[in-house]
Amino acid sequence: MIHQFLLITTLFSIWLSLSMAMVTLFGAVHFWLKNSTKETEIIPLKRYPTISIVVPAHNEDVVIAQTMTALLNLNYPPEKVELLLYSDNSTDKTAAEMRRIKKLPENQNRNIVIIERTGQGGKAGVLNDSLQVATGEFIAVYDADAMPERNALYFLVRKALEDPERHVAVFGRNKTRNADQNLLTQFINQEFVVMQRIQHIAIWHLFKIGRIPGTNFIIQKDYVTEIGGWRDGALTEDTDISFKIMQSGKLIALAYNSEAFQQEPEHIRDYYHQRLRWAKGNYQVVINNIKHLFDRSNWRVKIEKFYYAATFFWFNAAILLSDILFAVNVVFYIVGLFNPTITIPFTFGTTNVLLAQILLFNWVLMILLYILQINIAMSTQFGQATTKQIWLSFLSYFTYTQLFMAVSVHAVAQVIGDSLWHRNGNVWVKTKRFND
């Protein structure tokens, strides 16, 4: 009886996951059908609020010069931009590179402030420190490896000005700038395109729910100060503050035309440590905010909380359990070839035919939906809808996504261990940078 219960629960969970994915896909397709033919015009804004661009940088001497150059060349009035560069506990030449770019003749009249920080709190600590220094109406955040497209800041501000009372924060898209480096970066690129062009688009279009990313976003300085800033030491400070904003009833708006390019890990080890940190941070946020599913929080918080809880706990567990059930059945089937008295444990009825049919149909649907999501997302970007992407998406399902399952299991184990043994679970591992 317990065997069948586990099987039914697993199948139901996966079907629910597929249903949620279909809703997301529908929302994204509906949005792009409405907006893909619209021409984007760069027209003067009714006003240009002052912007304090904050760049947290820890040992980023390889990339910081490129990032500074991109930020200083943004299509936004230079006199309205304050560039705050934080060399956060750096032991390399990050600060020296910052000073070198600042001294260039073309930057002599620019408002550039370089701070060599030795405090704690990681990126969240830097952002909180910036609240004491920044003079802008908005704080814009860019990671040290982020290279915004020239109009990225313009589109963020334009979206904020559409509804300044509700749009207290605005975020754009982040693209993989080293997508063609190797197979891993191609998989990461597909993941990011789906996340940016399907998931983020859909939940904003359907529910007006936005999520602050790690880079390429703006937030009202007075507002973020009012809600207490970022949580020091948070592994995913962006997700954490997103829930704060939604809980207050304000919106995190999406400016889908705002784009920034960032480096992604080129080696499995670097990727694994980065995603482990992200997964742990998201699990922590889910646990810290699970109460909002049952209190009087607004409906957007409840939807987002259910999505995170279901995705990171329920559905991951269901997929892992389905893999285990399948593996157990395969082992028992092989043993049964030599010993007919052995029965397959996870089945319906007296044979395994029905189970095999259900599981096969279920897995085919998952694969097809996965491939469909990726290739619809790719079709919204110029030059990305190719036959190669179809084969890559098929390959990534059996490799890249399974690697993420390993990351998720590891993250859960670490979160539980941190809680049981009172360990510091917020140890940050830096992602390796490189010249490109």
Q: What is the pLDDT of residue 307?
A: 84
R_g of the chain, CA atoms, integer Å: 23
Q: What is the pLDDT of residue 136?
A: 97
Which tokens in the block code for residue 62?
């390889």
- The arrangement of secondary structure in 48-264, i.e. its CATH architecture, is Alpha-Beta Complex (3.90)
The per-residue pLDDT for 31 is 93
pTM passes above 0.85? yes
pLDDT of residue 206: 95
Let me know: does 158 contact 255? Beta carbons within 8 Å: yes
DSSP three-state, residue 302: helix
**What is the model's pLDDT at position 342?**
77
Query: What pLDDT score was predicted for residue 346?
Result: 65
Q: What is the pLDDT of residue 338?
A: 86
**Tens digits of residue pLDDT in 309-359:** 777 777 777 777 777 777 777 788 788 888 877 777 766 655 555 665 676
190 exposure class (CB count in 10 Å sphere: 0-12, 13-18, 19+)? buried
Predicted local distance difference test score (pLDDT) of residue 409: 83
Q: Which residues of the chain have pLDDT under 50?
A: none
203-218 pLDDT, tens digit per residue, is 999 999 999 988 999 9
**Domain extent listing, the chain:** 48-264
Please report the beta strands in 104-191, taking only residues with DSSP state E, as ranges in sequence order: 111-117, 138-141, 147-148, 167-176
